[in-house]
Structure 1
């Protein structure tokens, strides 16, 4: 392989590494990858009513307030007036100028169940090991409750014994499908590596042709030198 080919191949593999690294860097986790937070406050923010997803983050240590826990978990709240959170991570966009019945409802887990906070996030003092929740709606439905291991599960749905078996089968099928999938980050790496291999092959073939073409000229030059 020529020096040019080697440099190009090395550059492409370096790019693949950078892309893979960028693909796995994340802020707050989605609900199915919720972090465990044994020494801090787990914060759940439900964007589903705004067309988003349920996201979670861990506020390490002992945050001084509910707002501090929200920010430490990786979310950015903004107020419409002092003490009244209007948007989280820019949602809703724009911040409503008139109250339409929906707001960022603030919840806390007490004895394993969500309870609407009776005080504002600036006055609340969440304890390490606790769980805080936010959901943009009319305040009647809380966000999903994180299950053991930090994963969020929607416990607001009622159980129907007649459909429990069907639900369990569907869940098992879904889990099986998920476990056999390939992550988007891996597909990105595979694609870049394939491109690197193809480009490397093209460069090698081009270099070989150039060397063969230069061969007769080099031999002619050597013969002229000998004469």
Structure 2
């Protein structure tokens, strides 16, 4: 049996510095006044959008869901509570441990693995919905990660990508504002050069048979400390992509 603390997969699309950073912050995810307190509010809006997308595309059908870069499980748990079969994976063993500790009572619908998306591709795994949220900006090769996640989507299934756009506005708001002025995120959480534009995400997925919807933006009000969906995708955005059901995959 493999050790739960051993990373499963060849970590050639992995930044050790990023993993160490999130290892150190793993215990902060769920603290209302912790380093990621604004992320909890962000997650509320993100989750609402994802549930709406599930209803729009799949109706009330229970789904198999993969959350890539699941962190401490703040997105996986509510999806499992909604009746879906959810697997969360993360490159941080500490994140996986914290997620397991918090989601143990949902074991019938929720599981975690310390592995990479590449591992699941090699195993031939497939899911109805793959979530790629706030992770592509933390790997050396975002295109490769998007394509690996695309391989993991069943024909007719969906991927949801959520990340930061690479614009001057995202630099001012997402880094200077969030990390240095408001201190809503720990300094060094993001590198502006690593941000991925919606066009770049679509360019990675379209050749794989995905139809990418127009991205939805997200904006933060520092006075109310609330996030909301926005018509502008110049900072944060969410994008759904549906995989052509005629595409056949080896199993």
Q: Of the two, which has the highest radius of gyration?
A: 1
Q: TM-score, normalised by structure 1?
A: 0.24
- Higher RCO (Cα < 8 Å, 6 or more apart): 1
Q: TM-score, normalised by structure 2?
A: 0.23
